[in-house]
Chain A
């Protein structure tokens, strides 16, 4: 307990005067050498201590079985860091050939020395040297394996969800209607404003740019056709689904992931509640219902943005704009855009919930999977869109 009293007054700045700097003094004695230790050997002074020890290492010459006394009487306070460094120094000097002994150590300091020498301070290195090429090959292999695992798991999840939905058709009373409405509100209704805004702006930008380009051929009137086809076929769907992938996909992963972290999902299983039925199916169905509706709103806002620019730049009023749209743009373009939405919704829902179920114990894992969920969902949405575009165009639709 006497140890605790040492240096306790050095806690505050104004008592700082009582702190003495750690120092070493090397001198010749009768039967060899004497090493005196002074000052506060505390963790806060380790830099200075290390410097002193370095100086000493340069200063000591050949030992030749000389006796060395390490005198602790000048020490003011000692903690584990200081004691560890003294022991290290003693070991080093012993290795050099000195017969080192510690003298005049206080009782508390002896206990500390004993405690530290009792515990090994072995280091375990984790750094394994590997060639860059080998690492590259290994990373490539790992990526391929993880993509393969993704494909299998997404397929399995689609199967599981389908089975669950079929089961719910037989026993519809088990369906979580409240949960469905809740998720439709959060993923659908609350996204209306942001999706309207970005679609309106992008519609306006497309219109403005196409008028600028087509004006050179005096064909700016056809920019309305172009906007119609682009917005209805591609832009409305893509903007909406990317927004929803970032917004709701990430939310699904975070919600399910944090439940997974606190073992709530396991608790559900233990209570005989199916997580697929309660957590996953309502979310996916909510998206399947909400995403087409949002896409429709997005489409309309895209056209509205275009109409505004058409009025401003070409002085075409709303009625003429709609007439031109009606003449120039076939309704099939609208269907092509809308047919994609349920598929996109399923992909976002599956990826978001699947990544949520993959979360393990730590907060870091949650972050990793939320990021993976957004990246994968957006990537797959774009792939799906490209596949639809190629297939439908080659069919002449």
Chain B
């Protein structure tokens, strides 16, 4: 199930000694993490342990207090505005509840990044948006619905279609399966897996869901005690936890069940 990483796989993101604090409260410090091209990387950790903050730092939504983040070897702190826009256009972000613009239809939502970053002829933009809609498994008649008329699972799919609008190299997913029923969560996992393989995506996923970790993650990075304590394949971590939190997480009842079902 776990895809072999190519030995030559290139680093897309390199995080070094990253530090973030709110006032006197340190969220994480000395955090090191690499994201390789073409992998599905899962980030797990305690609730309130800074996983989402890390995701927001990587996307430039939150300022970090120290350390560095590099995309393709370039430190984002030293990038020009133009390069940063390139990076933004080349990465997609799926928020927890989709974060679709409620005043726009699903189709218009998907077209927002296309309008913002590049100019496309209207007919091609429409065709492309319908294609993305089909790729994430939404029916064509959902195109003209407003986000409030969709179910939670459909909103997530629409959010993913918007994240994929510009064919990003990397997508960031914030708790993609939270709030979905097991069937829906499993379908969403498989969708991510399929798209990752066919489109050659790199997926950076913050998650709690043990099932999706074992189903689709190539590697897992564990954020505990304010830094990344271990990274490795999920089975490896489960077999040899080496850290009390990892042990509690993978070797609890739910962790065992998820491994066995695999």
- Is there an interface contact between A1 and B167, defined as CB atoms closer than 8 Å? no
Cβ-defined partner of A362 (8 Å) among B114, B144, B146: B146
Q: Chain B interface: which of A113-121, A195-203, A335-343? A: A113-121
Give the residue of B10, B118, B127, B146 whose beta carbon is less than 8 angstroms from that of A43: B118
Residues 74 to 118 of chain A near chain B (Cβ within 8 Å): 79-81, 84-85, 88, 108, 111-112, 115-116
Q: Is the CB of A122 within 8 A of B140?
A: yes
Given A8-B169, A364-B103: A126 touches B126 (CB 8 Å cut-off): no
Q: Are B134 and A121 in contact (CB under 8 A)?
A: yes
Interface size on A, residues (CB 8 A): 40
User: Quick check: B134 and A13 within 8 Å, CB to CB?
Assistant: no
A327 at the interface (CB under 8 A from B): no
Kindly state the separation between the CA atoms of A163 and B152 in the bound complex, as whole angstroms: 38
Q: Which of B196-204, B222-230, B234-242, B246-254 lies at the interface?
A: B196-204
CA–CA, A363 to B164, complex, Å? 25
Minimum CB–CB distance for A213 against chain B, Å:
49
A5 to B8, CA, bound (A): 11
Taking A11-B72, A13-B82, A115-B135 as contacts, is the C-beta distance between A362 and B200 under 8 angstroms? no
Q: Could you tell me the distance in whole angstroms from the C-beta of A238 to the nearest C-beta in chain B?
A: 34
- Whether A8 touches B124, Cβ cut-off 8 Å, given contacts A120-B140, A121-B130, A124-B141, is no
The answer to whether B103 and A362 have CB atoms under 8 Å apart is: yes
| A168 interface contact, C-beta 8 A | no
B6 touching A1, Cβ below 8 Å: yes
CB pair A13–B86 under 8 Å, yes or no, is yes
Min CB gap B162→A, angstroms? 14
Chain B residue nearest to A7 (CB atoms) is: B169
Interface assignment of A361: CB less than 8 Å from any CB of chain B: yes
A262 within 8 A of B: no
* A116 close to B131 (CB less than 8 A): yes
Given the known interface contacts A1-B6, A11-B86, A123-B126, the answer about A46 and B121 at a Cβ–Cβ threshold of 8 Å is yes
Are B131's CB and A119's CB within 8 A?
Answer: yes
Residues of A close to B120: CB separation below 8 A: 43, 46-47
Query: Do residues A121 and B131 form an inter-chain contact, with CB atoms below 8 A?
Result: yes
Q: Mark A360-394, 1 if CB is under 8 A from B, else 0.
A: 11111100000000000000000000000000000
The answer, among A43, A47, A108, A120, for a CB contact under 8 Å with B200, is A108
Q: Does A217 contact B (CB under 8 A)?
A: no
Please give, as numbers and ranges, the residues of chain B lying within 8 Å of A363 by CB-CB distance.
102-103
Smallest CB–CB gap between A49 and chain B, Å? 9
* Residue among B71, B134, B167, B197 with most chain A CB within 10 A: B167
B190 CB, min distance to chain A CBs, angstroms? 14
Q: CA separation between A307 and B20, bound complex, in Å?
A: 62
**A2 and chain B: residue at smallest CB distance:** B200
Give the distance in Å from the alpha carbon of A11 to the alpha carbon of B87 in the complex. Answer: 7
Q: How far is the CA of A12 from the CA of B146 in the complex (A)?
A: 36
Contacts of B79 in A (CB 8 A): 12
Bound state CA distance, A116 and B167, in angstroms?
13
In the complex, are the beta carbons of B199 and A11 less than 8 A apart?
no
| Docked-complex contact A50 and B121, CB < 8 angstroms | yes
Whether a CB of chain B sits under 8 angstroms from the CB of A42 is yes
The verdict on A216 contacting chain B, using a C-beta distance below 8 Å, is: no
- Once the chains bind, are A80 and B167 in contact (CB under 8 Å)? yes
Q: A120 — nearest CB in chain B belongs to which residue?
A: B134
Q: Which of B38, B164, B198 contacts A115 (CB 8 A)?
A: B198
Provide the residues of chain A in CB contact with B86, threshold 8 Å.
11-13
* Cβ–Cβ < 8 Å partners of A81 in chain B: 124, 128, 167
Determine the distance from Cα of A50 to Cα of B123 in the docked complex, in whole angstroms.
11
Is B80 located at the chain interface by the 8 A CB criterion? yes
What is the distance, in angstroms, from B127's C-beta to the closest C-beta of chain A?
Answer: 5
Chain A positions within 8 Å of B135 at CB level: 80, 115, 119
Q: Which residue of A lies closest to B137 (CB)?
A: A119
Q: Which residues of B contact A21 (CB under 8 A)?
A: none
On whether the beta carbons of B148 and A361 are closer than 8 Å, the reply is yes
Question: Chain B contacts of A158 at CB under 8 A?
Answer: none
Q: Which residues of A contact B (CB under 8 A)?
A: 1-5, 8-9, 11-13, 42-44, 46-47, 50, 79-81, 84-85, 88, 108, 111-112, 115-116, 119-124, 126, 360-365
**Residue contacts A-B, CB under 8 angstroms, 7 given:** A8-B10, A8-B37, A12-B74, A43-B114, A81-B167, A84-B127, A88-B127
Q: A8-B72, A124-B140 are in contact. List 11 more A-B contacts (CB 8 A).
A: A11-B86, A13-B82, A13-B83, A44-B89, A80-B199, A112-B198, A120-B134, A123-B126, A123-B127, A126-B144, A364-B102
- 8 tightest A-B CB contacts, nearest first: A4-B200, A119-B134, A3-B200, A79-B167, A362-B102, A361-B148, A1-B38, A362-B148
